Amino acid sequence: MTDITINVEHIARVEGHGNVVMSVRDGRIKELRLEIVESPRFFEVMLQGRPWHEVPHIVARICGICAASHTLASLRAVEDAFKLVPSPQTVLLRKLLLYGEFLQSHLLHVYFLVAPDFFRVDSVIPLASTHPEVVKRALRMKMLANELCAVVGGRHIHPVTPVPGGFTRLNRN
Amino acid sequence: MKPKVAFFSFTSCEGCQLTVLECEDILLDMLGQIEIVRFREASSLKRDDYEIAFIEGSASRPDDVTRMRKIRERANLVVAIGACAVSGGVNFMKNFHYLQRTREHVYGAQADWFPTTQVQPVEAVIKVDHSVYGCPMTKDEFLETVKSLLVGRTPRIPQYPVCVECKMAENVCLFHRGQTCLGPVIRAGCQAFCPGLGAGCDGCRGLAPDHNLASLTNVLGEYGMKPEEVRRKLRLFNGYIEVQP
């Protein structure tokens, strides 16, 4: 029977922070733990005493990868508080922003975070030499997804234009 | 020999690390010039022989200070990337609340499970050689910094306020539209991104050198903002200026 101890401090290539701890004694798992080592932020308290119109900008900073989702969720919360119903156009544009984020996040996940494991390399960097066409295509798709977010929200990481009730500016190009 | 580079993440949204990955069109060229030996969000490689350390995020956990000091010992150059690293960013708003009450408000009886300290920007813990401003940092300024470090010159970072870039972009001043904006006192380099989109500057890039905050406070007063509201607005990204040595 084998005794194994696995201690993965900081799992690489994930969105977020985690450790995995596993110990096997006499062929049985004695301990198996996923530790979430994300640094706590305390946004619930940071928001206290801030004006309502700042809320979407503050909570976007919960996560740079899914900032649009946090922005959109908080816009709904603020609008609910005011019993404000956004126009159908605003809802459609917000959905477009959300789908842009889905695309960019999934592309990041598949090509940058997961693919290196299948090819047994550390990161996407070596893949750029061994599979240049695939990596370049992935980068092009990611740029397109970012562009989609930017057209609606100004930018993908921490959108600027979405505000309670609509947008500060609509892209007319 | 390509310089060995590491990226580290502390208390933040990881959006500045993501900004590095979003340099899509120039990412492969950049990677050809440097050797990344540590970048947890993008690579499982974990080496400590780095020369340049890019640090994202603030110190806000008990062992963050020790980790930052270790990085300083190993790296020749430390670059703070993004508002959280440069000045504490939005994280710093936490410092204006009682720490224990904050912990209990969010985590209740489990407050002790989540150790946290007052928020400190990187420069409050270790010496910082260069700063890349903004929330998130801009690709252009990051690339300017990387290129400058590669050729051994000082990165060109604007010392004038956002208004300069806003005028150059021929935007109509938001004050003329009845809105307010921190652009007159905040460091440029964002190409007046938010004012250009009709949203007043929130000050994520920090105060410009030689700013005139007293004058802006007067102007904001004319637009109905009391001095304490101006201070509150500045705390969004710049609470650190109230305690900065």
* ipTM score for this prediction: 0.93
Q: Within this chain, do residues A19 and A54 fall inside the same structural domain, yes or no? A: no
**Among A15-24, B110-119, B198-207, which range has the highest average pLDDT?**
B198-207
Decide: B212 and B220 in contact? Cβ < 8 Å. no
Token pair in block for residue A171: 């892209």
Please indicate, yes or no, if residue A173 is contained in any of the structural domains.
no
Residues B222 and B105 reside in one and the same domain = no
CB contact under 8 A, B28 and A128: yes
Shared domain check, A56 and A14: no
3-class secondary structure, A71: helix
CA separation for the pair B103, A41 (Å, rounded)? 10
Residue B192 in tokens = 């007046």
Average pLDDT over every residue of A144-164:
95
Whole-angstrom distance, CA of residue B162 vs CA of residue B37 = 36
Q: Determine which of A15, A39, A141 to mutate to test the interface with B (most B C-beta atoms within 10 Å).
A: A39
The reply to whether B181 and B88 lie within a common domain is no
Contacts of B193 in chain A (CB under 8 A): 154-155, 160
How many pairs of residues across A and B have Cβ atoms under 8 Å apart?
A: 150
**Helix, strand or coil for residue B52?**
strand
The tally of domains found in chain A comes to 2
pLDDT band at A1; cut points 50, 70, 90? low
Contacts of A143 (CB under 8 A, 6+ apart): B24, B25
Tokens of residue B241, six digits: 């200026």
Residue A66 is part of which domain span? 43-167
Pick the closest to residue A145 from A157, A160, A161 (CA basis): A157
Q: Which of B8, B13, B35 to mutate to test the interface with A (most CBs of A within 10 A)?
A: B13
Does A122 fall in a domain?
yes
**Residue B200 belongs to some domain of the structure:** yes
Look up residue B245 and give its amino acid: P
% of chain A residues with pLDDT over 70: 99
Q: Are residues A151 and A122 in the same domain?
A: yes
Region of A154 on the Ramachandran plot (φ > 0 left; ψ -120 to 50 alpha; else beta): left
Q: Which strands make up the sheet holding A4-8, listed edge to edge?
A: A4-8, A18-25, A28-36
B131 and B182 share a domain? no
Q: Are residues A53 and A82 in the same domain?
A: yes
Supply the pLDDT for residue A16. Answer: 76
Nearest-CB residue to B44 (from A122, A143, A146) = A122
User: Same domain for A54 and A22?
Assistant: no
More confident residue, B141 or B24: B141
Phi, psi of B208 (to 5 degrees): -75, 150
Tens digit of pLDDT for each residue in B70-88? 999 999 999 999 999 999 9
Q: Cβ A142–B102 below 8 Å, yes or no?
A: no
